[in-house]
Structure 1
Amino acid sequence: MLFESSKIILRKMTSEDVELYHTWRNDIEVMKSTAPFLDNYHLEETTEFVNQVILGSQFSKSYIIVDKESNTPIGITSLINIDYKNRNGEFIIDIGDKNFWGKGYGTETMKLLLDYSFLEMNLHRVSLRVFSFNNKAIKLYEKIGFKHEGISRESIFREGRWHDIIHMGILQSEYLKTS
C-alpha cells in the first residue's frame, strides 16, 4: 500500500484532527525545533489554521502519522508549497507524541512521503528547512540523501541565541538512486 510501511500508516488529515494537532502545536518541546513561531494558541486559532492553511490549500497535502501496532496518531507530515508546473514541493514533519521520538518513525515517514512525491506525483525536487541546532534531523536528512543548498544566517531566535536555518533539497534522480 502506498501510505503504509512496516511501522506506520499515513492517513489524510481531516478537520477531526484539529484537537490532537492543537495539543502538539502548543507543546513547546515539540515545536521548538520545527516551528518558526512559538506561542500558545487558542483552539479557535488552530482550527482556523488547519482549515485555511493545511486543509484549504490546493498546494499542500497533509497526513497524520499513525503507529501501526497501537493505532496511535503520533505526528503530522506535509508536502507544502507544491508547484505543479515546476514539479517542486517542500517537506515538513513533526512527531508530536514524544514517546515515539528517536525510534525510526521520522525515517519511515520521510521514505513514504518521498516515494509518493517522486513516484506518484512525479515531482522533480523536494526541499526542506531545518534549524541549525537540530542535529538529529540534519543527520537524518543527509542519510536519506538531502543536500545542503544554502543557509539563512541567524534567522531564528531560540533560548537567547540566534541560529541559522539550513535549506536542503533532494532531486528525484538522486532519491531514485538510493531507494
Structure 2
Amino acid sequence: MDWPRYGRVVLKPFSSGLSEEEWKGLYETFRDPEIAAWNGSSPLRTPFWLFKRFVLAETKRKDRLAFIVLDEKGEYLGTVELYDILPGEQATLGILIGRKDRWGQGYGTEAVRAALAYAFGPLGLKRVRLRTFAHNLRARRAFLKAGFREVGLGPGPKGKEDVYMEVRREDFGPEA
C-alpha cells in the first residue's frame, strides 16, 4: 500500500476501508466536547450507525478526499481531508487530531505535511488553503511549521476571529 506518509504518520484513505477501532476512534473524536469546541461545532450526538452512514456518504463526494491519520504503530490519531477540490487548482484542508494524549507532539504537523505532499504531487494542485480560529495558537504554529502562511484575518461563522492561511505548490518543499 502506497499511502501518503511523512515522518511518523501515514494517511490511510477512507476508500481503503476502516477497521472497527478506526471507526470508534473517529466517532469518539467527533463526540468529544473539547475537540468540537476547537472545531467550532457541537459534540456529535448521532448514534454510531448513523454516523458511519453519513461519513461513508461524504467520502463518496467527488470534491473530497478523506484520510485516517495513523501513528508509527498503525494506531488511530485523527483525520485529515482535502475538500472543495478544484482539480488542478486548489483544495481546502481540514484536520482533527482526536487523540488528545498526542497533542503537542508534532503528529498534526506531520499529517499536514503528508496531505500537502499528496496534494501537490499526485493530485497536481497549485494551492491548499484553510481557515482556523485566531485564538488557536497551537494550530496556527503547526500550520506555519508545515508550510502555510497567513494571508488574512476576518470574522468567522461563529463570531470569532479567523485566520486564513494558504500554501502554494512552488513554496512547498520536501522538508519544513
Report the TM-score, using the length of structure 2 for normalisation.
0.85
1:167 aligns with 2:169: no
State the 1:48 CA deviation. 3.5
Q: Aligned pairs, how many?
A: 170
Identity of aligned residues (%): 22
- Asked if the contact 1:4–1:112 (Cα under 8 Å) also holds between the matched residues in 2, the reply is yes
Q: Following TM superposition, where does structure 1 have runs of at least 4 consecutive aligned residues deviating by more than 6 angstroms?
A: none
Measure, in 1, the Cα distance between the counterparts of 2:121 and 2:46.
38
Aligned to 2:85: 82
Point out where structure 2 has 5 or more consecutive residues left out of the alignment.
none
Describe how 1:1-179 pairs up with structure 2 within 5 A: 3-13=4-14, 14=17, 16=19, 17-34=22-39, 36-43=40-47, 44-53=49-58, 55-69=59-73, 71-84=74-87, 87-153=89-155, 155-156=157-158, 162-176=159-173
- Partner of 2:117, secondary structure, is helix
- Partner of 1:120, secondary structure, is coil
State the 1:149 CA deviation. 2.2
State the 1:123 CA deviation. 0.4
State the 1:76 CA deviation. 0.5
Report the TM-score, using the length of structure 1 for normalisation.
0.84
Measure, in 2, the Cα distance between the counterparts of 1:111 and 1:98.
20
Q: What per-residue deviation string (whole Å, max 9, x for no partner) do you get for residues 99-140 of structure 1?
A: 111111011111111111112211000000101111011112
Query: How much is the aligned-residue C-alpha RMSD, in angstroms?
Result: 2.1
